[in-house]
Amino acid sequence: MARIGVFTSDFKFYRDVIQLLKEWNLPFLSIESTESIPEDVSVVLSSSRDEFSLANQVKSENPLQGLRTSLAKLLMREKFDSVVIGIDPGPYPGIAVFGDNVLMEAYECPSLHQIGGEVAAIVDSYVYADLQVKLGNGDAPNRDYILNTLKAMELRIRVVDEQNTSFPHKIHDNALSAARIAQVEHKYTIAPELQSQNIKRKEAYEKEFVTLKSLIG
């Protein structure tokens, strides 16, 4: 199992990146000496203010940017062939990111008007050969706002049929719908065995998708 290493002289960056790695539930190692980095550490996170350089190192201004940049290396790749961002339109849009069909992250945007900044941060942080955005076709006023915002960023966007992406309603959340939208080709259909189960929201991601957590856990 690959791990993320953390080595930095920036105490605030160290504290914040450790907290973030715990929130994402990713395996990591706090490195005490660069002379003995274990072989299973596939990438090392450091602050952009660190002056030293290491093999497989990712330096960044903030922990989230660094983590996103490191994910391809964590999976033993130089970059993702394809990154897909799924967006569930609404006043609190859902956002999900897949790298080579593996769900990297899914979360709810704090507000509609922050969608441009959130997507820009994702676009600028992940390492990929190709990127596209899939936007659900529901909630026309909010959808159109998001579409116009993203068009100004000159991104490749597909508006897709989001029918059934909110099923079952009792575990619906915007982030889960965004993950389903990201996987839409023509029309999303949840497998019958999932429809008949009493699935908890926190279990839905692993049951429906290959996730980063399940892949390296």
* Contact assessment for residue 45 and residue 17, using Cβ atoms and an 8 Å cutoff: yes
Residues 20 and 110 both lie in one domain: no
* Contact assessment for residue 135 and residue 160, using Cβ atoms and an 8 Å cutoff: yes
Residues 49 and 101 both lie in one domain: no
Nearest to 45 by CA among 78, 84, 73: 73
38 DSSP assignment: -
Residues 19 and 114 both lie in one domain: no
Residues 88 and 125 both lie in one domain: yes
211 DSSP assignment: B
In tens, the pLDDT along 23-32 reads: 999 999 999 9
Final residue before a domain boundary, out of 54, 74, 94: 74
Residues 138 and 181 both lie in one domain: yes
Residues 109 and 60 both lie in one domain: no
Residues 27 and 100 both lie in one domain: no
Nearest to 97 by CA among 76, 123, 116, 77: 123
Residues 13 and 95 both lie in one domain: no
Domain of 168? Answer: 80-216
Residues 40 and 109 both lie in one domain: no
pTM: 0.91
In tens, the pLDDT along 140-198 reads: 999 999 999 999 999 999 999 988 787 665 556 899 999 999 998 744 444 444 544 56
